[in-house]
Amino acid sequence: MMRYIYLLCLLLGLSFLSYAADKETIVERHGRLSVDGVQLVDEKGEPLILRGVSLGWHNWWAGYYNANAVRQIANDWKATVVRAAIGVEPDGGYISNPQRAMQCLTQVVDAAIEQGVYVIIDWHSHGIRLEEAKTFFRIVAEKYKDSPNVIYELFNEPVHQSWDEVKAYSIELIRTIRAIDPDNIILVGNPHWCQDIHLAADDPITGYANLMYVMHFYAGTHKQWLRDRTDYALSKGLPVFISECAGMEATGDGPIDQTEWNAYIDWMNKQQLSWVAWSVSGKDESCSMLHVGTDPTATWPEESLKEWAKIVRAVLLFPTFADE
């Protein structure tokens, strides 16, 4: 009899531990992240894949930069990372209104920390604004240097710049951040909307730890050639983080290419690559996840989600690769 009681207690104890683990947030379970070889790893050195969504440009979709949106993304969609896309050059962006930009950013980062998910602070620019970027990252590094949740993204999508130019710019910002925050992950962009990752692989930044290099794809436009190019970068030892992706054309509109999206999901799972889908916004285009007029401060019912949101949410809720 005592043996059966012992077994019952053991089973109940395991069930309790499992329940307690489920109640832990992703950051509580995995802590501060680092890079080991090409792999993102947690504080125990175990491989980790982050999956999540990006908010749209803050200057156009500031309404979604609130704690309620982050709570839904973290709890209802089960995202483990959210990206705050702080627009730089367009009207209403950081250059013309830095106070508003920092307010939007702080609301999202603080909410992500409260929800226990990782958060990418994205300097969402297509051009080099080095001095403004240094000021921005100096402020955010000072504010969030002690938070294991934070990931810095230096340059959303270089368009016309060469890798030499992007590399030199990135090194200046890495120095700025590392003088304040020696550990948190930094994401480095590359030319041609972050699709020339092979150039970075052939001439990477040296002398700094915990750097990863960004690749962006839109499955309706970017096919096997970009997966092959990224495989080449990985084979050269370059750590890769897919900080923006979607299933339609590179314009952000057009039909969703489900076949290519599935191919990318399978490939990202195989290569253990983290990814962030674009975007939480209410624009009349297929990459915008919510219908026009959706209240960003309210709970989003199923009918407010567009096709793309439902596709991404399904993957977040039921990932095809067990990495946790």
Give the distance from CA 153 to its chain's centroid.
9
- Contact between 31 and 42 (Cβ < 8 Å): yes
At 297 the three-state DSSP class reads coil
At 215 the three-state DSSP class reads strand
Tell me which of 244, 285, 303, 307 is the catalytic residue: 244
Strand partners for 186: 152, 211
Q: Alpha helix (H) ranges present in the chain? A: 2-23, 26-30, 67-71, 98-115, 130-144, 163-178, 191-194, 197-202, 224-235, 258-271, 307-317
24 is known as an active-site residue: no
Integer CA distances (angstroms), 163 to 39, 115, 194, 195, 226, in order: 23, 36, 10, 11, 17
- Contact between 242 and 215 (Cβ < 8 Å): yes
Tell me which of 131, 132, 142, 157 is the catalytic residue: 157
Give the HSE-up count for residue 300: Cα atoms under 13 Å, Cβ half-sphere.
Answer: 28
Instruction: Report the alpha-carbon distance of residue 279 to residue 85 in Å, rounded.
Output: 10
131 is known as an active-site residue: no
What residues are annotated to the active site? 157, 244
